[in-house]
Chains A and B, each alone.
Chain A
Amino acid sequence: DTAVSQTPKYLVTQMGNDKSIKCEQNLGHDTMYWYKQDSKKFLKIMFSYNNKELIINETVPNRFSPKSPDKAHLNLHINSLELGDSAVYFCASSQVSGVGNTIYFGEGSWLTVV
């Protein structure tokens, strides 16, 4: 009964490949996110979707393309992978309200590009 689930958890791939990470949330939230934790351990937002519409795109290279088939799913597709893409990618979701925005994270996907 995982609230935010993402697959795969670990992914090792070669430079130049195309890969996807899938994410699903069963919390009924209307907003989903992709965050990246880099080698310095900073968590930075990449994208945010609200009801399947892109609302935040934080100057991420065009090789990264999120896709939201419905508000419970937000997949991340990465083209032409580069060594610098190696990181942990976290999917998250929230129900934005007037009180504040509490985001719930998935367990992360460890991507290693070799």
Chain B
Amino acid sequence: DQQVKQNSPSLSVQEGRISILNCDYTNSMFDYFLWYKKYPAEGPTFLISISSIKDKNEDGRFTVFLNKSAKHLSLHIVPSQPGDSAVYFCAASASSHKLVFGAGTILRVKS
């Protein structure tokens, strides 16, 4: 039973354009959401997070949007750069030590 779903296995974007990565969740108890970026042969790197009391959090080129009623969050990268090419994982937790991860989306930014 996947509580966190990333329905797009991959996404291809032109350099300079916007990348939008989507994530849906089913557990209404989740109150903290994170995005991680992962390069091959490396561990996931924390990118940005948002708590359920907010609907937007921005950090440089990265913005995370949370729509609690739709149980949906998205990560926007503007402008996209070739170095952003990686696997992006969405994760969520419910006031616990446990993060539940989505399956990941492979982002390819073409130059």
Q: Is A99 in the interface zone, CB < 8 Å from B?
A: yes
Q: How many residues of A contact B (CB 8 A)?
A: 27
Nearest A residue to B2 via CB reads A42
CB < 8 Å neighbour of A99 from B43, B44, B51, B89: B51
> How far apart sit A40 and B2, CA to CA, in the bound complex (Å)?
13
CB < 8 Å neighbour of B46 from A40, A102, A106: A102
Nearest B residue to A40 via CB reads B103
Which residues from B are CB-within-8-Å of A107? 41-43
Which residues from B are CB-within-8-Å of A31? 97
Are the CB atoms of A101 and B99 closer together than 8 Å?
A: yes
Which residues from A are CB-within-8-Å of B104? 41
Given the known inter-chain contacts A41-B103, A43-B101, A108-B42, please indicate yes or no for A102 contacting B89, CB distance below 8 A: no
Q: How large is the interface on B (under 10, 10 to 19, 20 to 34, 35 or more residues)?
A: 20 to 34
Taken residue by residue from 19 to 53, chain A's Cβ proximity to chain B (1 for < 8 Å, 0 otherwise) reads as 00000000000010100000011111100101000
Measured CB to CB, the closest approach of chain B to A42, in angstroms, equals 6
Which residues from B are CB-within-8-Å of A43? 44, 89, 91, 101
Are the CB atoms of A101 and B46 closer together than 8 Å?
A: no
Nearest A residue to B104 via CB reads A41
Q: Is A56 in the interface zone, CB < 8 Å from B?
A: yes
Measured CB to CB, the closest approach of chain B to A54, in angstroms, equals 11
CB < 8 Å neighbour of A100 from B42, B43, B44, B93: B93
- Which residue numbers of A lie inside 8 Å of B, CB to CB? 4, 31, 33, 40-45, 48, 50, 55-56, 90, 92, 94, 96, 99-108
